[in-house]
Amino acid sequence: MSAVTPTSWGRYPTARPRQIQSCRDVQALALPDETLSRLPFGNGRSYGDVCLNNNGVLLLTRRLDRFIAFDPATGVLRAEAGILLAEILALIVPQGWFLPVTPGTQFVTLGGAIANDVHGKNHHVAGSFGCHVRAFELLRSDGNHLLCTPEQNTEWFQATVGGLGLTGLITWVEIQLQRIANPWIVAENRRFASLDEFLALDVEYEARYPYIMSWIDCATGLGRGIYMAGMHAPPGLLKSPPPQRRGLTVPFIPPISLVNSLSVAAFNRLYYHLPRPARGLIPYQPFFYPLDNLREWNRLYGRQGFFQYQCVIPPANAHAALWEILARIVVSGQGSMLAVLKRFGDKTSGGLLSFPRPGVTLALDFPNRGQSTLDLLERLDEVTRQAGGAVYPAKDARMSGDSFRHYYPQWVEFSRFIDPRFSSSFWRRVMEH
Amino acid sequence: MRNLLIIGATSAIAEATARRFAATGARFYLVGRNIERLAAIARDLEIRSGQPVVHESLNLDQIDQHPALLERISQTFGGIDIALIAHGTLPDQNACQQSVTATLAAIHTNALSVISLATLLANDLETRGRGTLIAISSVAGDRGRQSNYVYGAAKGMVSLFLQGLRNRLSSKGIQVITVKPGFVDTPMTAAFEKKGRLWAQPDQIAQGIVAAVERGRDEVYLPWFWRWIMLVILHLPEGVFKRLTL
């Protein structure tokens, strides 16, 4: 596709950068000497405005996409920051390695995975992406190249992991991969009829499976859903490479959202009752990346775009707060198509602004219907705040500055590490209001 | 395992093409100007292909160096299965209009050095009786336009030369492919405002080049729709065409 004005995945809000610059070489990288603020832009898969910089400069990183080193014996991989996780998987899976942590799409860049300290279905055992980063280089606007590891320039490491691209440009990254015996996944599905059942299933499954997530039907308000667990298949079970998937593309942006109360209710009912094997082998792609096969799926939400809402609630308050959130959604009549529930473990990356913390996380999406949607999300924020939770910046386009500072009291310390020439639409929004 | 020689290996189209061949298993000999960039690309391709990659830095304008280059390749690398000539510059048309030196330099880089290499490589492939020679020309070489006729004239010479070469070698089992990309979003075109559907990404061109090799094509417009655009442009009467602002 042509290089047009970059948007985020939620296609809301829109922002016009004053200037767009494509970064090409790690060696010859010189940040533009300009008074405008800059922000790295990877593959535009964050949902709100953490990747946008209205009236500033966007530094496109997708062309920084070379491998620098890979040791198939130890699983240590170093690559430039603009490479996609999909490109890494294509290289490493046939050689018996896998990403230590992966989000729900493989179309994010390495740099973006660090800047948002992304998490995956294995958070309860592996923590977030930042836990597996051995080193990266941070280029500051003053021309300094900082080598950051958990031991060296530690404070810069911790500010940059989850640092939303504000501490400088990540030029390359070194991560530790995990060994796998085969590219298939042993997957298990269980229906649950209530939130209580979900929490009980969690206790049972967490010890047995490294990958866990649940889909929850939030059209009916019953708290019912499907529990999905998986593990990399052991050797010998099946060795053939997974079939290549063709995939479909949503060809255009419909004028109005195709995701509406009718389709959401129908989809949720269907999804809950759809027959699925209790236990089986599936390739890793549909297990980890079910939506990657439907390219440009964000277009389904129409021209107005959509909101994601992902919060985490501490364990003690999880049950009550989640009930309250689901109740408020049902009352609003703005059901979510894909509601995802997962328990986070105790392991943290140390990132100052990292989102994952112990508790239960719930991710929802809502077509943008203007003020009524904004009002609903504000009502959900009330619950999250009272319960001592937090909202995920990578998926946010609307939380108030008050809420942000409440969720992330470390923002004061973090501010010291922001590059004086860097800023984002998100950061200005949550600092100004 | 195919042996690929890539000339102008640091060009965005060449790099994207090399990656696609690397995924199918290939050995590379890379030639380019910028040594740091060349080394980074070589390392990347080694990881992607699992094979050692040879690279050398050379100013390709020095045509008298070409025979020695081919000699080094045949001694250290072995027989070439696929040779891709991808180097080039996009000259400033206005500067060329004011300077014969700039015009001839652009023709030298984009046409004469390509023809020199194509001649040597074609003879090499002919001796071995097999192989594929690919060169990146351009839609700009199909018809002269006021906005870039110096570049267009050089590319037109390349297209015509390759056409003759293909005719000469078709009975010898040698494949000669002329690649004519349209607008591509690369560092070479960094000065242009890239909007609209006519602009393609380097990997789209790479995909077309790999497909052209596998399918035994002679001449490819990339992306495909340029064939139809150029068909129209080629058939406009000169009396009309000369008045257009293109």
Q: Is A256 on the interface with B (CB under 8 A)?
A: no
Classify residue B14: in a domain, yes or no: yes
Nearest Cβ partner for B41 among A3, A66, A69: A66
Domain borders along chain A are 184-398
Q: Which pLDDT does position B63 carry in this prediction?
A: 97
**Helix or strand run (H / E) with residue A175:** strand A169-176
* Encoded tokens for A301: 């939400």
Do the domain assignments include residue B246?
A: no
Decide if B118 is inside a domain: yes
* pLDDT recorded at residue A244: 67
- Helix or strand holding residue B206 (H, E): helix B202-215
Instruction: Using pLDDT thresholds of 50, 70 and 90, give the confidence band for residue B194.
Output: low
Of B197 and B142, more confident: B142
Q: Give the alpha-carbon dihedral of A377, A382, A384, A387, to 10 degrees.
A: -160
The total of structural domains in chain B comes to 1
Q: Is the confidence at residue B189, as pLDDT, over 90?
A: no
Is the predicted pLDDT of residue A33 greater than 80, yes or no? Answer: no
| Residue A29 pLDDT > 80 | no
Residue B45 lies in a domain: yes
Which pTM was predicted? 0.93
Residue recorded with tokens 């690929």: B4
Distance separating alpha carbons of residues B164 and B219, to the nearest angstrom = 12
Contacts of A330 (CB under 8 A, 6+ apart): A218, A219, A220, A221
- The pLDDT of residue B219 is 97
**Measured between CA atoms, how close is A68 to chain B, in angstroms?**
6
What residues 155-194 of chain B have any CB closer than 8 A to a CB of chain A? Answer: 185, 187, 190, 194
Say yes or no to pLDDT of A171 above 50.
Answer: yes
Q: What is the pLDDT of residue A276?
A: 78
- In this prediction, residue A237 carries a pLDDT of 67
A267 contacts chain B (CB < 8 A): no
Q: Is A369 on the interface with B (CB under 8 A)?
A: no
Neighbours of B162 (CB within 10 A): 25
Name which CATH class applies to A184-398: alpha beta
Supply the pLDDT for residue A300.
Answer: 86
CATH code of residue B181: 3.40.50.720
Confidence of residue A2 (pLDDT cuts 50, 70, 90): very low
| B231 part of contact set with chain A, CB < 8 Å | no
Each residue of B178-188: pLDDT tens digit? Answer: 999 999 988 77
**pLDDT per position as a tens digit, B201-223:** 999 999 999 999 999 999 999 99
Q: What is the ipTM of this complex?
A: 0.90
How confident is the model over B74-118, as pLDDT tens digits?
Answer: 999 989 999 999 999 999 999 999 999 999 999 999 999 999 999
Contacts of B187 in chain A (CB under 8 A): 22, 24
Chain B environment of A27 (Cβ under 8 Å) = 36-37, 40
Give the mean pLDDT of chain B: 94
Q: Do A28 and B37 touch (CB under 8 A)?
A: yes
Rounded distance between C-alpha atoms, residue A99 and residue B41, angstroms: 23
Measured between CB atoms, does A1 come within 8 Å of chain B?
yes
- Under an 8 A CB cutoff, do B43 and A66 touch? yes
Strands A211-216 and A294-295: unpaired
Q: Quick one: pLDDT at residue A3?
A: 46
Contact list in A for residue B40 (CB cut-off 8 A) is: 25-27, 66, 68
Q: Is B44 on the interface with A (CB under 8 A)?
A: yes
Dihedral sign of CA atoms A406, A408, A412, A415 in order: negative
Lowest mean pLDDT among A243-247, A385-389, B227-231: A243-247
Q: Report the range out of A8-17, A286-295, B163-172 with the highest average pLDDT.
A: B163-172
Q: What is the pLDDT, as a whole number, of residue A272?
A: 82
- pLDDT tens-place string over residues A375-422: 999 999 999 999 999 999 999 999 999 999 999 999 999 999 999 999
Q: What residues 54-83 of chain B have any CB closer than 8 A to a CB of chain A?
A: none
* pLDDT tens string B134-167: 999 999 999 999 999 999 999 999 999 999 999 9
pLDDT in tens, A304-340: 899 999 999 999 999 999 999 989 998 888 878 788 9
Q: Using a CB-CB distance cutoff of 8 angstroms, which residues of chain A are in contact with residue B194?
A: 2-3
Q: 3-state DSSP call for residue A44?
A: coil
- The reply to whether B164 falls in a domain is yes
pLDDT over 90 at A239, yes or no: no
- Of residues B47, B190, B197, nearest to A2 (C-beta): B197
Domain of residue B40 covers: 2-241
Residue A137 DSSP symbol: E
Q: How far is B27 from chain A (nearest CA, A)?
A: 17
Q: Does A244 touch chain B (CB under 8 A)?
A: no
- pLDDT over threshold 60, residue A1: no
For the ranges A41-45, A85-89, A142-146, A302-306, the lowest mean pLDDT is seen at A302-306
